[in-house]
Amino acid sequence: MKVTIENKKGLGKDIKVIVDKKTMDLYLEERYEEIRKNYTLKGFRPGKAPREILKRQFGEAIMGEVLDKVLKDTSAKALEQNKIRPATQPKIDLKKYGEGKDLEYVMSITELPQIDTKQLQNIKFDEYKVNIDKKFTDERINQIAKTQNNFQDANENHKSVKGNLVVFDYKATSDGKDFKGNEGKNTQLILGKDLFIKGFDEQLVGVKKNDTKKVEVTLPENFPEKEIANKKAVFDCKVTNIKINQEVKIDDNFAKNLGAKDLIGLKELISKQINDEYKNSLDMLSKNQILEQLDKFKIEQVPQELVDQEVQVLSHGMKEEDLKKNKKDLETQAKKRIKTGLILNEFGQKNNIKVTEQELNIEIQKQYQMMPGQEKMVKEYYEKNPSAIASLRGSIYEEKIINEIKKQAKVNVKEISKEEAEKLLKSENEKAIKASSEETVKETKDTKSAVKTKKSTTSKKIPSKKTKKVSKK
């Protein structure tokens, strides 16, 4: 194989490749042999069909298959040998091809720009550590305690009130007749929650232990026994016990019931939990600081083909008049996202960062947990949408790259209080809302302008402060 690089124009290159006829004949013979092994021809032993007969029947198809394979193999080898990394799919112009001839083609590519990732060592970012005051930990534990049930038997003269647990037996009838499932033993209701039949538990307010009570209700429309659904029913109830929810004592036993070693251990766990609640949001601030600095890095040239592709993504759904009006802004935004993606991807490759199948599966499991009861639907979605898997893999890949950059960058650790964290996050959120509002105002002005010219337009908001998802290797 002979490879010649021609017509270098910036990132563009034309690569001339010549594959000699001897090599082509070897590819052809290999393909004919594969077919011969699996082809039975009357009058010939299995695997012994003459090439000429196979050629008459399959010659055109074989030539096409061989061409595809040779182009794939040799183009990849030509790029690898010359250490050329294409930004997009190469375009191949076939110059010469045929049985008994050399293969000659020209591969036109746009090369990825050279990127000096040493620049990343100059990146600075803030890492926030939230100091959780003891009072916030205690408040959270008190809140948890209030949600815990600690029902104790009331005295026999106690009249039930909302919040009490009433234990009772019942027998029910509808129109004076029994029905399936009309009896219950040791039924428990917390009064005031209305979790049994609507209007049922409010009629048990004021009862005492050993009281009998007739409760009249309308059965729900989804009642299992369809013939009496939406009909009135009478429940003859016998109260067997009433329990009062006592205040939970916050001690070592309370902590153990929540999975901690003791109360001190529980406080440590709760403090960490509160800290973790702020961590993701604060880590996003650090990430944004890094991404903003990447935009200042120098890159010789951003491949126009990638910019054009990204513009298509950003402008999806836009009307033609809006696209023309916002083309410059879209190109600027696209170039910024592509540039950031190229830098991150280059850093990822140089640091041998990869996404394992285990990491991908863990992330998919997280998606399951976010949609309980719909696991099957989520599973089918990823199975039927390879692009969704690729996007998920890309997100993991980007996050791993950012984490590695943090290790090599200059970090400024800031210890802040919970109140300071909330103030900081509120400020960042207000900035994001303001930026979004400014975009909305711009779009509104564009729309009004279009209306004046009797053209109905629907502007699409131009995404801001987003990166092009880097491709996972």
> What is the tens place of the pLDDT at every residue in 233-289?
999 999 999 999 888 888 898 889 888 899 999 999 998 888 888 888 899 899 989
Q: CA nearest 18: which of 81, 97, 91?
A: 97
Residue 328 tokens, joined = 């410059």
How many whole angstroms separate alpha carbon 63 and alpha carbon 57? 12
Dihedral angle sign, alpha carbons of residues 84, 89, 94, 97: positive
d(CA 393, CA 473): 9
The backbone torsions φ and ψ at residue 238, rounded to the nearest 5 degrees and listed phi first, read -120, 110
How many alpha carbons lie under 13 Å from residue 338 in its C-beta half-sphere? 25
Residues 6+ apart with CB under 8 A from 270: 137, 140, 141, 144
- 160 phi and psi angles, rounded to 5 deg: -65, 145
Count of residues in the chain: 473
Interior angle at CA 30, CA 24 and CA 34, nearest 5: 145
Of 2, 7, 10, residue with least CA distance to 108:
7
Query: Given a cut of 70, is residue 450 above it in pLDDT?
Result: no
Given a contact cutoff of 8 angstroms between Cβ atoms, the answer to whether 122 and 405 are in contact is no
Q: Give the DSSP per-residue string, 62-124.
A: HHHHHHHHHHHHHHHHHHHHTT--BSSPPEEEEEE--TTS-EEEEEEEEBPPP--GGGGGG-E
Mean pLDDT across 354-362: 92
- Return the higher-pLDDT residue of 107 and 10: 107
- Residue-level pLDDT at 40: 65
CA distance 467 to 347: 15
Q: What is the per-residue pLDDT for 364?
A: 87
Strand, helix or coil at 193?
A: coil
Contact 89, 71 (CB under 8 A): no
- pLDDT tens, position by position, 395-420: 999 999 999 999 989 999 999 888 88
pLDDT band at 387 (very low <50, low <70, confident <90, very high): confident
pLDDT at 472: 53
Strands 410-417 and 124-131: parallel
Average pLDDT over residues 203-225: 93
Helix (H) or strand (E) holding 449: helix 418-452
Q: Taking a C-beta distance cutoff of 8 angstroms, is the pair 129, 414 a contact?
A: yes
Reference 34, options 11, 81, 64, 66; nearest CA is: 66
Compute the distance between CA of residue 65 and CA of residue 297 in angstroms, rounded to an integer: 45
Determine the longest span between alpha carbons in the chain, in angstroms. 107
Of all residues in the chain, the percent with pLDDT exceeding 90 is 37
Give the sign of the dihedral formed by CA 167, CA 171, CA 172, CA 175: negative
Q: What is the pLDDT of residue 43?
A: 59
Q: What is the pLDDT of residue 373?
A: 77
Phi-psi region of 124 (alpha: psi -120 to 50; beta: other; left: phi over 0): beta
Kindly state the percentage of the chain with pLDDT values over 70: 89
**Low-confidence winner among 36-45, 312-321, 439-448 (lowest mean pLDDT):** 439-448
The first and second tokens of residue 207, run together, are 């009862």
**Domains in the chain: ranges and CATH:** 2-110 (3.30.70.1050), 149-245 (3.10.50.40), 263-452 (1.10.3120)
Indicate the SS3 state at residue 332. Answer: helix
DSSP assignment string, 27-77: HHHHHHHHHHHT---TTS-TT---HHHHHHHHHHHHHHHHHHHHHHHHHHH
Q: 196 pLDDT exceeds 60?
A: yes
Does 15 score more than 60 pLDDT?
Answer: yes
pLDDT of residue 136: 87
Please tell me the least confidently modeled range out of 29-38, 166-175, 374-383. 29-38
Task: For the chain, give the mean pLDDT.
Answer: 85
List, for residues 101-124, the tens digit of each pLDDT value: 899 999 999 998 888 888 788 899
Q: Which pLDDT score is estimated for 461?
A: 32
| Cβ atoms of 28 and 66 closer than 8 Å | yes
For residue 443, pLDDT over 70 is answered with no
Q: Return the pLDDT at 453.
A: 36
The counts of H helices and E strands in the chain are 11, 11
Q: Are 12 and 110 in contact (CB under 8 A)?
A: yes
For the segment 276-324, what is each residue's pLDDT rounded down to a tens digit? Answer: 888 888 998 999 899 989 888 888 788 888 888 888 888 888 888 888 8
What's the pLDDT at 103? 93
The answer, as to whether pTM is greater than 0.75, is no
User: pLDDT-based confidence at 448, cuts 50/70/90?
Assistant: very low
Record the tokens describing residue 262, joined without a space: 């003791």
